[in-house]
Structure 1
Amino acid sequence: MSDITFSREQTSQMVHKLQKYLQAELDVEVGDFDAEFLLDFFAKELGAHFYNQGMADALRVVEEKTEDLVDTLTWLQKPVD
């Protein structure tokens, strides 16, 4: 798996959300640099867990759709004498 990377705009939005959360929930004020550093830590140390869960969810959907397709194709078979 390659490193998780985000655009500058995405990073800025996530940093802002992280700052708001830390202020509201923990009454901790964090600057842009520190919040981005913390965000990088989360991405590197925890990102793979979220990525893997997303992949598992996608795989489950693909399996369900494949099962539906197999059922449909089986139903379309013609009887053979």
Structure 2
Amino acid sequence: MNNKNKIKLTKEKRAEMISSIKSYFLNEREEELGELAASLILDFIIEELAPEFYNQGVYDSYAYMSDRLEDVLSIQKY
């Protein structure tokens, strides 16, 4: 993903997500991650996985709006 299309996070949201990753590893895997490791995992998710979730959201929105437009067409007067 190029920089133009890269998902951008606020410092606060990024810190929150890093904290969540560290908590997950500690609670689920009993592994203590440092800031750098958690940050690298977050970067991987943003660059490699997030675009698929984003694209699915775009598709779902498109399908929803298409259905609503069909509803609008149903109120035509003949």
TM-score for both structures, normalised by structure 2? 0.88
| Identical counterparts, % of pairs | 28
Pair member with larger Rg: 1
Unmatched 5+ residue regions in structure 1?
Answer: none
1:22 equivalent in alignment to 2:33: no
1:49 equivalent in alignment to 2:52: yes
- The aligned length equals 75
* Equivalent in the alignment of 1:36: 39
- After superposition, where does 1:5-16 map in structure 2 within 5 Å? 5-16=8-19
- Cα distance in 2, alignment partners of residues 35 and 63 from structure 1: 39
- Cα distance in 2, alignment partners of residues 57 and 16 from structure 1: 29
- Cα distance in 2, alignment partners of residues 19 and 57 from structure 1: 31
Q: CA deviation at 1:21?
A: 0.6
Tell me how large the CA RMSD over aligned residues is. 1.3
TM-score for both structures, normalised by structure 1? 0.85
List structure 1 segments (4+ residues) > 6 angstroms apart after TM superposition: none
Unmatched 5+ residue regions in structure 2?
Answer: none
